[in-house]
Amino acid sequence: MNLFGTVLTYTAPSANYRGESAENRAVIQKITKDRFEYPIISPEAMRNALRETIGALRLPCNRTRLGDEEQLAVEFLDYPDDDRFADDFFMGWLVAASGKDRKTIKDELKARGRDPEAFTFKRDSILRMNMAVALEPYRHDAVFTQSPLDATDNSIKAKKNDTSSNLLHRETAVTAFQYPFALNLEDCRSKPDWTKTLLRAIGQLNEVAGNHARSYFEMAPASIVLRLTPQLVAGYDTYGFELNDDAHRLSEITVGIREGDYPGDEFYLGGKLVKDMDEDLRKDLEDKGTTLDRSPQRLIETVNGRMFGA
């Protein structure tokens, strides 16, 4: 059995999904789609936030982000162990070692009471994700903020970073984002409780793309579609959400279920997508066996209850 999903966030202004700065200009990461540039958020950024979220939900994690270093930095409690650490289990790993380094690591593992022959230096991720793409194209909006001159007395300050105030330039967008994810439940069968917590973390995802001291943008679902199926592919447009007069639409799936293109009982729809539905469409989908819920988090709990039932 496989679980496929697409999450659509709420629309909000933000400038925190950015790449490297160009001088004092914070540049949003973008891709070109249909001749327009759309802001994106990388799956790596979302995976990092998921590590922190499942840790906040009390799952054991191997890797943590260090916030007070001169560059991006992480630390690990131990060598990867997918039976001990939830982030290793879902995210996989790569230990860059060869030759003598591999032998040294295996000797260390043996000294720690672990079976060196059972250890693998790399393992694919069980959780598959793709980048989050904005629903609205970037329209060259920007905001400016003033960074003041630090006039602190040098006697109580080791070093001044600058000798004048600066005008900070940030590219900004007002948009929602959508992103897909997938899980093979056979891969997760040994850790059903961890898997349920991972889905809860997706339902509460936040602090994805940095700049949290200034910007707040939630990546939790405003709307969500999930498909629980024996198929090996999602079979639908995993970037299929549309905005129409501030209403959420997923026409390919809803029309497809109505017309018999998809088995309705494999689909679970939740959030604003359901709130915006007219009564005729709601009744048609329910008659086809589709599960509808106005709350994305409650819908996730419904799916959690059905994932390993078979």
Give the pLDDT confidence score for residue 213 in this predicted structure: 55
- pLDDT for 11 equals 92
Does the CA dihedral 51-297-180-14 come out positive or negative? Answer: negative
Of the candidates 245, 238, 290, the one whose C-alpha atom is nearest the C-alpha of residue 272 is 245
**The tokens 């990092």 sit on which residue?**
48
The one-letter amino acid code at 44 reads E
Structure tokens that stand for 137 in this block: 């194209």
pLDDT for the residue 145: 80
Each residue's pLDDT, cut to its tens digit, for the chain (310 residues) gives 999 999 999 999 887 666 556 666 777 889 999 899 999 999 998 999 999 999 999 999 999 888 787 787 889 999 999 999 999 999 999 999 988 999 999 999 999 999 999 999 999 999 999 999 999 999 988 888 887 877 777 666 566 566 777 777 888 889 999 999 999 999 999 999 999 999 999 999 988 866 655 678 899 999 999 999 999 999 999 999 988 878 888 999 999 999 999 999 999 999 999 999 999 999 999 999 999 999 999 999 999 999 987 5
pLDDT at 16: 66
State the Cα–Cα distance between residues 42 and 49, nearest whole angstrom.
11
Give the pLDDT score at 193.
96
Q: How far apart are CA 52 and CA 208, in angstroms?
A: 10
- Return d(Cα 238, Cα 101) in angstroms, integer: 42
Q: State residue 143's pLDDT score.
A: 83
| 94-108 burial code (b ≥16 CB/10 A, e <16) | eeeeeeeeeeebbee
Report pLDDT for 210.
62
| 8 Å CB contact between 269 and 291 | yes
- For 302, the 3-state DSSP assignment is helix
Q: What is the predicted pLDDT for the residue at 167?
A: 78
- Estimate the crossing angle of helix 192-203 against helix 296-306, to 10 degrees: 170
pLDDT for position 47? 93
Question: Residue 49: its pLDDT value, please?
Answer: 92
Q: Where are the domains of the chain?
A: 2-138+172-306
Q: Distance between CA atoms of 63 and 78, rounded to whole angstroms?
A: 9
